[in-house]
Amino acid sequence: MTDTPLLDIRGLSKTFGSVEALTDVDFEVRPGEVMALVGDNGAGKSTLIKCVAGIHGYDSGEIVFDGEPVSIHGPKDAARLGIEVVYQDLALCDNLDVVQNMYLGREVHDWLYRLKEPVMEQHTAETLKSLAVTTIRSIRQPVASLSGGQRQSVAVAKAVQWNSRLVILDEPTAALGVAQTRQVLELVKRLAEQGLAVVLISHNLHDIFEVATRITVLRLGRDVGVYEREKTTQQEVVHAITAGIPTKVAGIAEAEAGVAT
Ligand SMILES: Nc1ncnc2c1ncn2[C@@H]1O[C@H](COP(=O)(O)OP(=O)(O)OP(=O)(O)O)[C@@H](O)[C@H]1O
Ligand SMILES: [Mg+2]
């Protein structure tokens, strides 16, 4: 793992009318790491992700990707950079099978526009295998017949199959039982092991402490701390979520008090 961030957000601010959804937020994630993004309801997590995904514009700040300042004006800009987001509910079409979902909008066909089913089937099987998604019996079954964990696994596989470099998961385990949550968390770990940068939004600190390398806490639209998983406790993170002071304000207070940083 390198220390250079793949995604480096600097001083991002975003308002919706009079609501300050994000104020001067810094956020980074490195290749090969799982960065958790946590905070109470309305803290700004989804808004921050939507700015990166090109769904929202932002008022000020900078997004640096792979060392270069980038402007992301729509989901296609994000996809071109290798940024993929898995949203909890919008991920899959129930009536289509696994292969059709994997290739939705990106179907492979020959010069007569006949679908190349064997090519898509083989690639789907290989992608699932490379991610060790082994419990799906047939890739020709409609995703409506899959378990919640299997569906989430297909959604993740779909997102990462196009040479993506950063994958963002917004609450991927919120609706899952214990065993299925385990499946998805294992998959999250594997993505990072394969060198992707992973952002994991979750309200479940237990899950986060199992897979995250670092944890960024947002509170009331501001970043209030970045914690290394191995050097922090759930208690410290909960305290930041409920009572954290913005990092930059804390920095100024420390400097004024003459504390060396
Ligand atoms: N499209 C929108 N229009 C107006 N206000 C919005 C919009 N989206 C979000 N907000 C506001 O921005 C703030 C941050 O919301 P956001 O959805 O980012 O929170 P969140 O951290 O994802 O919360 P949750 O954990 O509940 O998903 C909230 O005050 C919310 O009401
Ligand atoms: Mg949200």
Instruction: From the CA of 47, give the closest atom in ligand 1.
Output: 18
Nearest to 198 by CA among 50, 9, 39, 6: 6
pLDDT at 212: 97
Query: Is 252 touching ligand 1 by the criterion CB < 6 Å?
Result: no
Query: Is 21 touching ligand 1 by the criterion CB < 6 Å?
Result: yes
Ion ligand 2 residues within 5 Å by Cβ:
45-46
pLDDT at 259: 61
pLDDT higher than 80, residue 188:
yes
Query: Is 57 touching ligand 1 by the criterion CB < 6 Å?
Result: no
Q: β-pairing, 197-201 with 34-38?
A: parallel
pLDDT band, very low/low/confident/very high, at 123 (cuts 50, 70, 90)? very high
pLDDT at 178: 83
**Model pTM above 0.85:** yes
Q: Using CA positions, which residue lies closest to atom 9 of ligand 1?
A: 47
According to CATH, the superfamily of the domain at 7-91+163-256 is P-loop containing nucleotide triphosphate hydrolases (3.40.50.300)
Domain boundaries, the chain: 7-91+163-256
Query: What is the chain's length?
Result: 261
pLDDT tens-digit series, residues 145-185: 988 888 888 988 888 887 789 999 998 888 778 888 888 89
- The 3-state DSSP composition of the chain as helix, strand, coil percent (nearest 5) reads 35, 25, 40
What is the per-residue DSSP string for 186-221? Answer: HHHHHHHHTT-EEEEE-S-HHHHHHH-SEEEEEETT
Q: Which ligand is nearest the CA of 44, by number?
A: 1
Tokens of 224: 């209030």
| Range 68-85 average pLDDT | 94
Q: β-pairing, 214-219 with 222-228?
A: antiparallel
Measured in Å, residue 175 CA sits from the centre of ligand 2 at 14
Render the burial of 16-49: b for 16+ CB within 10 Å, e for the rest.
Answer: eeeebbbbbbbbbbbbbbbbbbbbeeebbbbbbb
Query: Is 181 touching ligand 1 by the criterion CB < 6 Å?
Result: no
pLDDT tens-digit series, residues 27-73: 999 999 999 999 999 999 999 999 999 999 999 999 999 999 999 99
